[in-house]
Structure 1
Amino acid sequence: MSFSRVNYGQETNADDVAQFLHNEIVGKTIVITGVSPSTLGSEFALTVSAHSPKLVVIASRDTNKLNEVVKDINAKYPNVDVRTLQLDLASLEASRKAGQELASWEDVEVIDVLVNNAGIMAVPYKESVDGFEFQFATNHLGHFVFTKQLMPKIIAAAKAGREPRIVNVSSSGHRTHGMNWEDVGFHGGKTYNMWDAYGQSKTANILFSVELAEKYGSQGLYSYSLHPGMCIGSNLGKHIPMQEIQDFLQSDRAPEPDADSIFKNLQQGVSTHVVASFDPEIKGQNGEYLLDCKVGDDTRKKAYAMDKGNAKRLWELSEQLTGDKYD
């Protein structure tokens, strides 16, 4: 039986989706953050590299790990142009400079797909070099600043009729906690809970996509957020004992205890990345939140994460905190 959208689901493999959407990937320039060996980022990079993109740019803090992924891609797909970019999302200055560096590459005239894939989960309280709660700084503010620098090349793709996309990788963890509007820093850690802070940052990822679609949809930009699922081997949360994660998932604070009872492998985890990045079928649902290769129904997403008023409020707060204002 041939693969089609009717096969989209929790156990769908990214390779099958990419093969189905092959023509949408060919010739595209794709930027991916949070890439290191044996992660969602590297799995997505390898998956799309099988389908003749024009350029794949992989970004992460650790250049040695980036080079390992390049070696892997080159071994499997020697004709693919893959480049690395050092990106430390925990620093606004580093995020800004990384974006500016990529924006300065004269031979890269457009960016077709930006996947803000990097993220951390449920770390003990600490502050970034800029004084922000670390999960909010890394998962949202760093990407907000990085994305801003790339907007001219993304909008250039839109003007050329290439229908560019910005994909923000979120999580069902957004259901644990919305925006802590009175103090996104949890009062200097005094009211900090690592799962609440993670939930806030993942809510921010969704709201970022909502507002990107609202502000730039009329110019031909599409933006989506997604939940990849609970993935074995992704290295996310590797600092947390598995028993502690399982206890959380089985507690009354779990975001989706039934829906996330099945753990995915990396191929199953990045299948939704591929749909969000390339499937033309979802163009009419700009700004939406996806999971299991489909737009999530209302039972799988919190209304506060899709609220346009909240999205606008977060955008304005992010500009205020970072000092970076989008055109």
Structure 2
Amino acid sequence: YIGSFFLITYDALAVNFAGALLLAHSMVIAAYMVHECAHNTIFKSNKANARLGGLLNWITGACYGDYEDIRHKHFRHHMDRADVVAFDYRPRFAAHPRFMKLLAALEWFYIPAVEIVMHLLVLIVPFILPSRRHRRKRVLTVMTIRLVIFSALVWYAPQVALFYPLAYLVFITVMRFMDTHQHTYELLETLEQERGKEVEQFDRDFEQRNTFSNVFSLRHPWLNLLVLNFGYHNAHHIRPIEPWYRLPALHHEVFGDDCAQVLPIAHLFRAYHRFRVPRMLNADAADSGVAERRGEGFIGVDGVSFLTAH
């Protein structure tokens, strides 16, 4: 991570591009390490995991929100077997056609506009939801610190104003690609409420039927290390406390060499490209035959990143 900043501040364009890719990859690994911390798989101590998770959030840019809020949202995702949010952005965005046209144009050009807005909402929600008012001071403090650091870097090397945002866009795109096709879960606006009876219908069988593994390769498992084995998602949902480096073995132990829930990555790349605009307001129905179609025609869902705790 630190080395990538040396590269993007270096006076050579090719080195700057290499630095941006390295920075994006550092953010991806940091994000999935936050995920590991949320499951307490790094240290035996919950406090140690929380400290590391909070530190890594500064690398991912998710530090405007509180680590415990991120952990709570992800905990509800596993417990409720649903995509649990504070509010569903889809009807709210759809009510503003001009805004939607702008987002659609950006998405058509592969700019992850919806995800960017969802991350920006982390800064805005504390000034809208009464239950998040106590986060206002944190948002303003973190914003000031990051703006000062960013301004200093741009003053030292003006190209940082281009290559840091570029790295962040690559990071957000990778994270969204991994999230988009991992579930056909119900979307519930219950994050600000206690866990209710509406989730009792979602049992372990439902969870596995509507969870999908988007590994880059089963034949060459080292490729999956690019995203810290996050693609072994069915194995992760079977045993959430299993650390990232054991997920390939757990997947093989449970599913062997033939798992219907593993979707061919080529199909998912094709679907990600084809449905990049329709996906903006989509929410796939549960038990919609995704595994039977091997992921063909799988639109997927936006706005479900574990880094946005709303």
TM more than 0.5: no
TM-score, length basis structure 1: 0.30
Greater per-residue helix proportion:
2
Larger of the two Rg values belongs to structure? 2
TM-score, length basis structure 2: 0.31
Greater per-residue strand proportion:
1
